[in-house]
Amino acid sequence: MSERISGRRLLLTLGLWAGLVVVALGATILAGRLLFRSWAVGHRADLGAILVAEAYLALLGALLLAFGGPPGLRDRLRFRFTSFVDLSVALMLWFAALVVGGFVTAALTPLFGRPQSNTVALLGQSFDPLFVALIVPTVCLLAPVCEELLFRGVLYGWLAGLLPVWLAVIVTAAVFAGAHLLPLLFPVLFVFGLAATFVRARTDSTFNSFAMHATQNTIAVVATYALLSQGR
């Protein structure tokens, strides 16, 4: 059974993240302006990729500090392998969520228009090798692990101690979808969030929901580069 996460621990995580982000990104921006100005001016996309990676690394650092290092992520946030059966079921639910999300998008498109993929806007900024080397692992691995630990680990762990499990699943999915600040993609993100949080609750593992998230992001990256390579 998962250890209950306190609201104080959630606030500590967010506070540490904010502090680390200010320090890390502030230092990088200052270095870009004062020490490497000519490079930064000509490589804005690369600098942006560095800042995105740093923001997620800051979140990972905050989680490690707030929960006692790697053992805390494993034991308290449940980032642990459970079984190949659980992993297989998680990936099947990911695919089901993908299909349902596609139907939801198709149903809502006549009302709100077709949502634009933020992955296309992000990856289309540059094909510079440094940019690609930074942004691909960030999107495919670093972002999923950090977001799963935060939302399915900390947030769900806190809500599950306050609300019925079914309601904690719904609220976690809604917060996850809303935190992306992409209103037109909210329904799709919410459906994915429901599936991922259900897997977290059912298997008591954020590793399984991470596998879903990493798969989702990796396929999105591959599909986006395939489209961009065709000049679409």
What is the pLDDT at residue 231? 67
Q: Would you say 225 and 140 are in contact if contact means Cβ atoms under 8 Å apart?
A: no
Nearest to 76, CA basis, from 160, 145, 5: 5
What is the pLDDT at residue 159? 97
Place of tokens 């502090």: 19
Q: Crossing angle, helix 84-112 and helix 206-229, to 10 degrees?
A: 50
Task: Say which residues have a Cβ less than 8 Å from residue 149's Cβ, sequence separation at least 6.
Answer: 60, 63, 73, 77, 79, 206
Place of tokens 């077709």: 114
Is the confidence at residue 2, as pLDDT, over 70? no
Break the chain into its structural domains and give their ranges: 7-229
Report pLDDT digits (tens) over 139-171.
999 999 999 999 999 999 999 999 999 999 999
What is the pLDDT at residue 1? 52
State the Cα–Cα distance between residues 169 and 160, nearest whole angstrom.
8
Tokens of 142: 């670093």
- Give, as one character, the DSSP assignment of residue 6: P
Report pLDDT digits (tens) over 85-132.
999 999 999 999 999 999 998 898 888 888 877 888 899 999 999 999
What is the pLDDT at residue 189? 95
Lowest model confidence (mean pLDDT) among 134-143, 148-157, 168-177, 221-230: 221-230
What is the pLDDT at residue 75? 95
